[in-house]
Amino acid sequence: MIRLHVVVEGQTEETFVNNVLASELGPVGVVADAHRVTTGRRKARTFRGGLVEYSHIRKDLVLWMRQDSHPESWFTTMIDLYALPDDFPSYDMCSQVRDPFERVECLEAGFGQDIDHRRFIPYIQVHEFEALLFAEPRKFEIAFPGETSKIDDLISICREFSSPEHIDDGCDTAPSKRILQVFSDYKKTVAGPEISAQIGMAALRRECQHFDGWVRRIEQVAASIP
């Protein structure tokens, strides 16, 4: 049994980890919890969500690692490749890599080296959380009942790419932007976790290879612990 602490970019990812990912990992001996990245403090208030500086997520990880140094405690992240801060480790070098999977692996390697903790599994979502929702666009029905023609538009978008994680990271063409062009009332924090839960982990892992690799690595860690 391991504890998996996940520092996430925002409320959507936090809900996804707690409600979807945790359910998948529980049976293999992983107790997962999520924490939104701390972006600032003012008087008695703490502000969380949105990754605008690398130092924010680094501070959260280092603090959590100090607070829970037990050998069964592991740490990971769920942040977007899209709009990643340019002060991220190895950012300039990795940004020259055209293939999105190779680029994100380059960034994760730099991230891991900077944090330098043997129980840390760096993870960056290609290109953002909404890519997961393109794993099975028909499941948008749960949030947008009766909108068959619009859902067909999402399916058409998905067919243009090799996989949901190949949908690019342009300012107007990233996965979330494409969804908003079809469903202008899409609310990420509400519809995102709901749709991903309907899709289910089996389909998410089948269609999104980088995401699946992250989950497999966590499973392998859990399997190696007596």
Q: Note the pLDDT tens digit of each residue in 68-104.
A: 999 999 999 999 999 999 999 999 999 999 999 999 9
Cα distance between residue 3 and residue 22, in whole Å:
11
What does the pLDDT read at residue 39?
77
Angle in degrees, 0-180, between the axes of helices 209-224 and 100-115, rounded to the nearest 10? 40
Angle in degrees, 0-180, between the axes of helices 175-182 and 148-158, rounded to the nearest 10? 150
The answer, yes or no, to whether residue 28 has pLDDT greater than 70, is yes
Q: Which two tokens stand for residue 191?
A: 């519809």
Q: Using one digit for the tens of pLDDT, what is the confidence trace for 155-182?
A: 999 999 999 999 987 899 999 999 999 9
User: Which amino acid is it at 178?
Assistant: R
Q: Using one digit for the tens of pLDDT, what is the confidence trace for 99-146?
A: 999 999 999 999 999 999 999 999 999 999 999 999 999 999 999 999
Share of the chain above pLDDT 70, in %: 96
Share of the chain above pLDDT 90, in %: 91
What does the pLDDT read at residue 46?
59
Cα distance between residue 163 and residue 116, in whole Å:
32
Q: Which domains does the chain have, with CATH numbers?
A: 2-128+207-224 (3.40.50), 129-202 (no CATH)
The answer, yes or no, to whether residue 226 has pLDDT greater than 90, is no
**For range 38-57, the mean pLDDT:** 77
